[in-house]
Amino acid sequence: MDDGREDLALASVSWMKGLDSRERTALLEQRALRHKAMRKNSGASSMLFTLLGMQQMTTEILSRYKAARLPAGVNRIADLCCGLGGDSLHLPPETSVLGVDNSLETLRAYRHNTGLFRLGGTYAVLADVTRFQARVDGIFLDPARRALSSLSKDRDFDAEPEPGWESIRELIRKFRNAAIKLGPGVRLPEALEEEEREYLGLHDECLELTVRTGSFGRAGWVRAVELPEGVEMEAQACDIPDSFGRVEVPGRYFYEPVKSVIRAHLFGVLAQREGLWQLDGRLAYLSGDKCVDSPLLKRYRVVKVLPVDESMLRKEVAAGEVGILEIKKRGLDVSPEEWRKKLKPKGPNAATLVLTRLQGKASVLWVEPEGSN
């Protein structure tokens, strides 16, 4: 469907020839956007999209999860910066929804998309969300991202939303109950760090941070959720620092927490819960002698521990006839791509190397994946 030849064939059919060039271009662009959006929403083939709206639209599985977390008694909600409707689509049909955006084009798509999925009342409101007034039980807010510095190495970390933090705080004061969608690595202002922070992951990719206020969350708590399994863990933010500290040499297994757990800094809590330990006091890599089967952990068997020595590692890779070489790294300023070239993998076998620190010392773990990694 993404083959350019198919677009050429479609453009040549009789009914397409009857359209002007702008209409033909719009249809072909919409077709391409629908194809890309299938990764986010199973009903994308019938939806309307804009490029920016499709990129920022909440994935269907996350949308369903967030809708299910609404507390009882929410009869009317405002979806601010509603975009194409990703967060509105799966709200309960008995809940009346006001989709608010400052783009007429976006609202047209929002009205179309929500009409496909929602049986309950949904209304599109053209307005500046910072000035929006309505009597609702709470808000969803999906602000746009903007980079503070073009020189930033991590745009997500150094990004401020649009509307900005002060406007967001004012919206919270006005509506009290809120679920605010942000990038998973964003640096929160101190006031928002006191609210519930929920990191949502899908297939080991952390997709968003939801800050929950009022009755939509629990102040002082941090959660990590891995979907589609819906497995979650949580802790009070004040208890997280005390969860770090048990550091030992590698055991029988090496464990890598999923990214939502790492983003939430809950890997120490997870280690305590599962009877594991850290390989370094500041890193999220875990180890243990027991076999833990959890959607929150990727499990590997430790084969051997090696020094960070290029010549020795190249000999080990050659001796193992390794042609498919995965290199993970954490805590060391190295490039997996450059190391892969240096080690010259060649052969029928596969291996995984972990370049990291073991109790502060640069080391390499040769590991083999186990379970459903």
Residue 14 has pLDDT above 80, yes or no: no
CA distance 43 to 272: 41
Residue 7 has pLDDT above 80, yes or no: no
Burial class (CB in 10 A: 0-12, 13-18, 19+), 276: buried
Do 210 and 110 lie in a common domain?
yes
Q: Is residue 41 part of a domain?
A: no
Do 181 and 216 lie in a common domain?
yes
Provide the pLDDT for residue 162. 92
Do 19 and 142 lie in a common domain?
no
Provide the pLDDT for residue 20. 63
Do 157 and 287 lie in a common domain?
no
The closest of 159, 181, 1, 154 to 87, measured between CA atoms, is: 181
Q: Is residue 43 part of a domain?
A: no
Do 148 and 195 lie in a common domain?
yes
Domain count, the chain: 3
244 pLDDT band, cuts 50/70/90, is very high
The closest of 196, 260, 186 to 222, measured between CA atoms, is: 196
Q: Is residue 4 part of a domain?
A: yes
Provide the pLDDT for residue 9. 44
Do 185 and 297 lie in a common domain?
no
314 pLDDT band, cuts 50/70/90, is very high
Do 70 and 105 lie in a common domain?
yes
Range of the structural domain that residue 27 is part of = 1-36
Q: Is residue 98 part of a domain?
A: yes
Do 183 and 317 lie in a common domain?
no
Do 197 and 229 lie in a common domain?
yes
What's the CATH number where 350 sits? 3.30.2130
Phi-psi region of 349 (alpha: psi -120 to 50; beta: other; left: phi over 0): beta
Q: Give pTM, 2 decimals.
A: 0.89
Q: What is the pLDDT of residues 225-243, one digit of tens each?
A: 999 999 999 999 999 999 9
End-to-end CA distance of the chain: give it in Å, rounded. Answer: 30
Q: Is residue 279 part of a domain?
A: yes
Do 141 and 183 lie in a common domain?
yes
Do 67 and 124 lie in a common domain?
yes
120 pLDDT band, cuts 50/70/90, is confident
Task: State how far the alpha carbon of 200 is from the alpha carbons of 204, 222, 225, 312, 333, in Å.
Answer: 10, 11, 5, 40, 27
Q: What is the pLDDT of residues 31-51, one digit of tens each?
A: 889 999 999 999 999 999 999
What's the CATH number where 188 sits? 3.40.50.150
Summarize the confidence of residues 320-330 as an average pLDDT: 97
Do 193 and 319 lie in a common domain?
no
Q: What is the pLDDT of residues 168-223, one digit of tens each?
A: 999 999 999 999 999 999 999 998 999 999 999 999 999 999 999 999 999 999 99
Q: Is residue 46 part of a domain?
A: no
Domain boundary among the residues 187, 212, 236 is at 236
Q: Is residue 359 part of a domain?
A: yes
Provide the pLDDT for residue 372. 53
Provide the pLDDT for residue 39. 92
Q: Is residue 328 part of a domain?
A: yes
Provide the pLDDT for residue 21. 66
Three-state SS for the chain is: CCCHHHHHHHHCCHHHHCCCHHHHHHHHHHHHHHHHHCCCCCCHHHCCCCHHHHHHCCCHHHHHHHHHCCCCCCCEEEEECCCCCCCCCCCCCCCEEEEEECCHHHHHHHHHHHHHHCCCCEEEEECCHHHCCCCCCEEEECCEEEECCCCCCCCCCCEEEECCHHHHHHHHHHHCCEEEEECCCCCCCHHHHCCEEEEEEECCEEEEEEEEEHHHCCCCEEEEEEECCCEEEEEEHHHCHHHCCCECCCCCEEEEECHHHHHCCCHHHHHHHHCCEECCCCCCCEEECCCCCCCCEEEEEEEEEEECCHHHHHHHHHHCCEEEEEEEECCCCCCHHHHHHHHCCCCCEEEEEEEEEECCEEEEEEEEECCCC
